[in-house]
């Protein structure tokens, strides 16, 4: 049997391209322009694109799908991650108009079918439950996910923003392996490195897909300029490259989910993904951002 724990998220997978802000780029709302952008990323060796049904109110998946319909040859080259399970308040059809989670079997089955249509693809590479839902009936959800994998609609499954016991409860109800957890991790968010969360990922074989890997884009303001200048001189990496190199040096090689669609920022991140930081510099960056000396 294929080892789906690593299939698609090998140590060599450098970056995942996050599509959350796609609708904010007017030039990329045209199918031809977006198709050219996708093709350029494929030429750089980047073929994983991260979506969710709520990104842009569904617009991001639709725009991506329009580009694939216009240039169907791209469809065979891209691999898509998507997520479902969050209902924003403005999409709640009940009288309560409240944001809530809906990790229910029927809801997720419908979300998978909608995503396939919106994205104009035949199979979702990796489907994630977007947030842990306290009301989730894990056995029912597991059967729905198993059915989607068996039908070829989804290749592999994972979770997003789950804590260890939350993903273990779902994993204990299905024979399918959970291949990943997409959760926040960066130089600016290091708590999971000191509370056992990283080790839980490693123990259970979940690849960490790190969202906000650049700390919201303000790391340069949090690292002293002289340290950035010295690091650039030693490694050739700007702050984006340093943040990505720092992240990928962790055990298990977390994969950054890069939110920027700027080609220059993507190239900087790719340079970082292919670089190894000296251990003292790794700790100096950690110390700088935490504003706390290593104990």
Residue 146 lies in a domain: yes
Residue 101 lies in a domain: yes
Q: Write down the pLDDT at residue 6.
A: 44
State pTM to two decimals.
0.95
Residue 199 lies in a domain: no
Beta bridge partners of 184: 211
Q: How far apart are alpha carbons 159 and 173 in whole angstroms?
A: 14
Residue 247 lies in a domain: no
- pLDDT tens readout for residues 228-263: 999 999 999 999 999 999 999 999 999 999 999 999
| Domain assignment of residue 161, given as a range | 16-184
Given a cut of 60, whether residue 1 has pLDDT beyond it is no
The fraction of the chain above a pLDDT of 90, given in percent, is 91
Residue 278 lies in a domain: no
Q: Write down the pLDDT at residue 2.
A: 37
- pLDDT tens readout for residues 103-122: 999 999 999 999 999 999 99
Residue 133 lies in a domain: yes
CATH number (domain holding residue 165): 3.20.20.100
Q: Write down the pLDDT at residue 264.
A: 97
- pLDDT tens readout for residues 125-157: 999 999 999 999 999 999 999 999 999 999 999
Given a cut of 50, whether residue 3 has pLDDT beyond it is no
Given a cut of 60, whether residue 7 has pLDDT beyond it is no
Report, as an integer, the average pLDDT of 34-63.
97
Q: What is the three-class DSSP state of 190?
A: coil
Domain count, the chain: 1
**Catalytic site positions:** 55
Going by C-alpha positions, the residue among 101, 106, 58 that lies closest to residue 82 is 58
| DSSP, residue by residue, 221-273 | HHS-HHHHHHHHHHH---HHHHHHHHHHTSTT-PEEEE----HHHHHHHHHHH
- pLDDT tens readout for residues 158-175: 999 999 999 999 999 999
Q: What is the three-class DSSP state of 110?
A: helix
Q: Write down the pLDDT at residue 292.
A: 84
Q: How far apart are alpha carbons 221 and 225 in whole angstroms?
A: 8
Q: Are 234 and 278 in contact, with CB atoms under 8 Å apart?
A: yes
Q: How far apart are alpha carbons 248 and 245 in whole angstroms?
A: 5
237 against 217, higher pLDDT: 237
Residue 10 lies in a domain: no
Q: Write down the pLDDT at residue 8.
A: 55
Q: Are strands 178-184 and 16-18 parallel, antiparallel or unpaired?
A: unpaired
Residue 201 lies in a domain: no
């Amino acid at each position: 049997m294929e080892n789906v724990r690593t299939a698609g998220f090998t140590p060599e997978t450098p970056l995942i391209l996050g599509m959350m802000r796609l609708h904010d780029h007017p030039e990329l709302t045209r199918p031809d322009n977006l198709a050219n952008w996708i093709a350029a990323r494929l030429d750089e060796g980047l073929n994983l694109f991260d979506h969710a049904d709520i990104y842009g109110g569904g617009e991001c998946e639709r725009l991506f799908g329009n580009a694939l319909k216009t240039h169907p040859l791209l469809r065979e080259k891209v691999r898509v991650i998507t997520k479902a399970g969050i209902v924003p308040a403005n999409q709640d059809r009940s009288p309560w108009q409240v944001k809530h989670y809906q990790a229910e079997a029927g809801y997720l089955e419908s979300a998978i079918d909608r995503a396939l249509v919106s994205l104009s693809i035949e199979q979702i590479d990796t489907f994630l439950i977007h947030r842990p839902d306290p009301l989730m009936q894990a056995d029912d959800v597991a059967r729905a996910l198993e059915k989607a994998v068996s039908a070829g609609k989804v290749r592999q499954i994972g979770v997003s923003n789950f804590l260890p016991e939350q993903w273990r409860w779902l994993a204990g109800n299905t024979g399918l392996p959970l291949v990943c957890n997409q959760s926040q991790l960066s130089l600016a968010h290091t708590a999971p490195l000191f509370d056992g969360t990283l080790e839980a990922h490693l123990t259970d074989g979940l690849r960490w897909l790190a969202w906000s890997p650049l700390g919201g884009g303000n790391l340069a303001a949090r690292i002293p300029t002289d340290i950035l200048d010295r690091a650039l001189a030693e490694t050739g990496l700007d702050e984006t490259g340093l943040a990505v190199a720092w992240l990928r040096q962790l055990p298990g090689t977390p994969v950054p989910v890069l939110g920027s669609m700027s080609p220059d920022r993507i190239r900087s991140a790719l340079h970082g993904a292919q670089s190894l930081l000296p251990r003292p510099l790794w700790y100096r960056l950690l110390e700088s951002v935490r504003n706390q000396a290593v104990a």
